Amino acid sequence: MTFFLHLHSFWRWVLLVVGLAAVIKALIGWLGNRPFEHLDDQLGMIFTIVLDIQVLLGLINWVGQGWAALIPQAMSNSALRFFAVEHPLIMLLALVVAHVGRVRSRRGETALSQHRAAAIFYALSLLLIISAIPWNRLTT
């Protein structure tokens, strides 16, 4: 299981870089009133795919390390609760938000609405991700 934990820990950096790139590109398009190009769509797709992989790796770790069985005890222990409940739920919410943003950006009627949806939803997803990263365990 440590292989998946290390892979999950490494993959977070890929996710942060790709997420930041998607948000910045969407903001440039929105604030610069630029056309919604193929690269904009591709960055959104890559962000959601990288996030999908990260969540899958996290679920493998969560099940494999027995976090699910610790949920009853975790409610009275904040450190345990973070890994057993809060971290997975926030990350799943970030996944949903990113996918909703991807769909809304693809279905927007104008380039402005497409960039706006991408910027708002990808930024919100990225903020959720950043808020749930265990920053005190960056080397694990």
pLDDT digit string (tens) for 3-42?
Answer: 998 999 999 999 999 999 999 999 999 999 999 999 999 9
Residues found in the chain: 140
Q: Which pair of structure tokens corresponds to residue 19? A: 């997420």
Residue 36 lies in a domain: yes
Residue 98 lies in a domain: yes
How far is the C-alpha of 137 from the C-alpha of 74, rounded, in Å?
Answer: 19
Residue 96 lies in a domain: yes
Residue 100 lies in a domain: yes
Which has the higher per-residue pLDDT, 66 or 109?
A: 109
Residue 140 lies in a domain: no
Gyration radius (Cα) of the chain, Å: 16
Model pLDDT, residue 30: 96
- Return the percentage of the chain with pLDDT > 90, whole number: 77
77 backbone φψ class: left, alpha, beta (φ>0; ψ -120 to 50) = beta
What domain range is 67 assigned to? Answer: 2-135
Helix, strand, coil % (nearest 5) of the chain?
85, 0, 15
Residue 62 lies in a domain: yes
Distant-in-sequence, close-in-space partners of 98: CB < 8 Å, separation ≥ 6: 47, 48, 51, 121, 122, 125
The total number of structural domains in the chain stands at: 1
Model pLDDT, residue 72: 84
Which has the higher per-residue pLDDT, 49 or 71?
A: 49
Question: Torsion over CA of 15, 19, 22 and 27, rounded to 10 degrees?
Answer: -170
139 pLDDT band, cuts 50/70/90, is low
Average pLDDT over residues 48-66: 94
Residue 120 lies in a domain: yes
